[in-house]
Amino acid sequence: MIDLIVLGAGGNSLGILDAIAAVNEIAPRYRVAGILDDIPENQGRLVLGHKVIGTIAQAGEFAGCRFVNGISSIGSFRRIPDIVARTGMPVDRFESIVHPRATVAGSARIGCGSSIMAGSVLCPESVVGDHVIVLQNTSVNHHSRIGDFATLSAGVTILGYIEVGRNAFVGGGSTLAPMVKVGDGAIIGAGSVVIRDVPAGRVFAGNPAREIADSRYADRSVAIT
């Protein structure tokens, strides 16, 4: 059994814990040792029966455990690299979690510490980097590449030969046309249809997606789910 600690007590962690439980139903593989979260009010809280046992910086106190990040929202996604770094753990101490109801082609590749949720599909020759969150019912088509620390929300369609940059955020229900490039740290608003490249750090939304100066997204205060 692998002792596993989930980073974060929010909504994405629910999906990760559900995926872990589903894996264990097929063949026991993981024991959830607990959850680490920096919000003081969450200390001691139970999430799907698993307790918040400390803060992110306390990861080093749990010798022998492996980790997976569950923190990503429009308010926190840019901090994922820092959150992972604060554990002090090398990349090989992070476990990738794949829900049994996800479909992963034999030639697809998944990095360390990534989570692939139920109903999602990684097609042949697709690549998902380290610490990527792929939420439910999202597809990554052939030859597309998802950069480290990126978030693909639920119901996203990534078509062929697409590049999604490091630490980018793609909102739920979005579709990206073939060969589009989304730059590092960019945001794609929920329900968007992206037919042209999105520069690094910019916010695009709509059908067709265009750059917006919407304070709801620019100040990261409203979730894109």
What is the pLDDT confidence band of residue 221, given thresholds at 50, 70 and 90? very low
Which tokens sit at 81? 């690299």
Q: Which of 50, 99, 131, 142 is catalytic?
A: 142
Say whether pLDDT at 217 is over 90. no
* Dist. CA 30–CA 2, nearest whole Å: 5
**pTM attached to this predicted model:** 0.92
If you average pLDDT over residues 80-87, what whole number do you get? 96
What's 51's domain CATH number?
3.40.50.20
Q: What share of the chain is helix, strand, coil (3-state, %, to 5)?
A: 20, 30, 50
- Average pLDDT, whole number, for the chain? 94
115 and 208 belong to one structural domain = yes
72 and 6 belong to one structural domain = yes
**What is the pLDDT, as a whole number, of residue 75?**
87
Of the listed ranges 69-78, 91-100, 132-141, 173-182, the one predicted with least confidence = 69-78
Which tokens sit at 168? 């980018």
Digit-coded pLDDT (tens) for 26-48: 999 999 999 999 999 999 999 99
* Alpha-carbon radius of gyration of the chain: 17
Digit-coded pLDDT (tens) for 90-144: 999 999 999 999 999 999 999 999 999 999 999 999 999 999 999 999 999 999 9
67 and 114 belong to one structural domain = no
Say whether pLDDT at 220 is over 60. no
Say whether pLDDT at 171 is over 70. yes
69 and 140 belong to one structural domain = no
Q: Which domain holds residue 45?
A: 2-93
**What is the pLDDT, as a whole number, of residue 223?**
34
- Residue 162 is assigned to a structural domain of this protein: yes
121 and 195 belong to one structural domain = yes
Q: Are 35 and 53 in contact (CB under 8 A)?
A: yes
**What is the pLDDT, as a whole number, of residue 219?**
42
- Residue 223 is assigned to a structural domain of this protein: no
- Residue 224 is assigned to a structural domain of this protein: no
143 classed as catalytic: no
Q: Are 70 and 12 in contact (CB under 8 A)?
A: yes
Question: What is the DSSP-derived secondary structure letter of residue 156?
Answer: -
138 and 88 belong to one structural domain = no
* Dist. CA 144–CA 220, nearest whole Å: 27
Number of domains into which the chain is organized: 2
If you average pLDDT over residues 57-73, what whole number do you get? 95
- Cα within 13 Å of Cα(189), Cβ side: 20
Look at 222 and 72; give whichever has higher pLDDT: 72
**What is the pLDDT, as a whole number, of residue 213?**
78
- Residue 225 is assigned to a structural domain of this protein: no
Q: Within a 10 A sphere around the Cβ of 49, how many other Cβ atoms?
A: 8
122 and 89 belong to one structural domain = no
Amino acid at 152: L
**What is the pLDDT, as a whole number, of residue 214?**
57
116 and 200 belong to one structural domain = yes
Question: Which of 76, 93, 110 corresponds to the end of one domain?
Answer: 93
157 and 191 belong to one structural domain = yes
* Dist. CA 190–CA 223, nearest whole Å: 9
* Dist. CA 186–CA 204, nearest whole Å: 8
Sign of CA dihedral 126, 1, 133, 21: positive
Say whether pLDDT at 222 is over 50. no
* Dist. CA 28–CA 45, nearest whole Å: 25
103 and 70 belong to one structural domain = no
| Tokens 């960019």 belong to residue | 186
Beta strands across the sheet bearing 181-182: 109-110, 127-128, 145-146, 163-164, 181-182
